[in-house]
Amino acid sequence: MLLLALDTATPAVTVALHDGTDVVAASSQVDARRHGELLLPAVDRVLAEAGARLDAVTAIVVGTGPGPYTGLRVGLMTADTFGLALGVPVHGLCTLDALAYAADVEGPFVAATDARRKEVYWARYADPRTRVTDPAVDRPAEIADVVAGLPAVGAGALLYPDTFPDARAPEHVSAAALAALAAERLAKGEELEAPRPLYLRRPDAQVPKNYKVVTPK
């Protein structure tokens, strides 16, 4: 197995390569505005570090979010393109699951990423491998009772200390964790998700009010 993992659902543009036993190369850059510009060079860099060619990749896993529309689609479209070009399977994995997998937390906790608009994408976990709620998007104050007393990981938790007073690392998701979790589940014979985006709300970009459609004469 040579598994290529990538995620652009958060400000982190992150790529990793897993050989079925361990992560052999990884790259992460945090820049919310340059997903498209940074992703392919990161793939090249990871392949070069591992001494591997793209055509040696046997499977791809991509973070499915939840995340903002523009950034999330960069990773998903790139994964689909690679999969078609190489003729290899493309798997999806919830970005929050990868974030939780990297957490050094015992017992129940929350993973939360920044959803903008003063909201967070979040889910509860029984342990780093077990999600117990569906991913959701809410204002932190609206879920304060639900997450009260629980440790939390992720940038969303760090942004709202009143709701998440016990916020911990990691701040951002890493493709290394995404790859390791996917490899672990595949080795057990588990089916991963389809590589489809988890869009939990409408895109940030909206059609302007009073927009007029002009019909050509």
Q: What is the 3-state secondary structure (H, E, C) of 155-207?
A: HHHHHCCCCCCCEECCCCCCHHHHHHHHHHHHHCCCCCECCCCCCCCCCCCCC
Q: How many CB atoms lie within 10 A of CB 127?
A: 15
Using a cut of 0.85, tell me whether the model's pTM lies above it.
yes
Report pLDDT digits (tens) over 149-168.
999 999 999 999 999 999 99
pLDDT at 66: 97
Q: Please state, rounded to an integer, the average pLDDT across all residues of the chain.
A: 93
Is residue 208 very low, low, confident or very high in pLDDT (cuts 50, 70, 90)? low
Q: Which residues contact 97 (CB under 8 A, 6 or more apart)?
A: 111, 131, 181
- For the record, the structure tokens of 113 come out as 């990423």
pLDDT at 203: 54
Is residue 69 very low, low, confident or very high in pLDDT (cuts 50, 70, 90)? confident
